[in-house]
Structure 1
Amino acid sequence: YQTLKARGIRLVEGDAEEFAASDGLSLNVLPTSPLKVIAVAGFPRTKAAMEAAGCTVEIFEADALCIACEGGPTCLTRPILRQ
């Protein structure tokens, strides 16, 4: 956290209650391009924080796909190369 901030990287803090209630799933966010992310539905305060920081947030219902398996959007992908 401190290293990222020291390098000038802007961080968005998610809602602490949503984080605790979701066992961290609320912050399992997949960036698809600068300021565009995919996140799990059901965490409106965390989504609002990202949008307030200028992010476009696409959400999806993850009950069967993520929550049951304890994984999130980043676990459903392979790394991609951006140019």
Structure 2
Amino acid sequence: MAQRYLLPSPGVVTAIEGAERFADHPDLAYLEIRAKLGDRIGPVDSHPARAGVVITTGETREVAMALAEYVVERILIATDANMIR
């Protein structure tokens, strides 16, 4: 089992894409995206400040870790830092 977090750059969320492609993946135990379009993302200073979480399973720890990182890398949470002002 492995757990990784979604940590987009600070700014206002302008797009969220990619999570749907993992909906039926047998080794994706949990996927939560907390960020919503228009949310202001700041520096991560606490657990609730994370934009989301991915938990995966696999035959080995290394396989689960690789899948978790793969999923996180393919979920886009785009932000615009210029919109924070």
Q: So what's the TM-score if we normalise by structure 2?
A: 0.28
- The structure richer in helix per residue is 1
Bigger relative CO (Cα 8 Å, ≥ 6 apart): 2
Q: So what's the TM-score if we normalise by structure 1?
A: 0.29
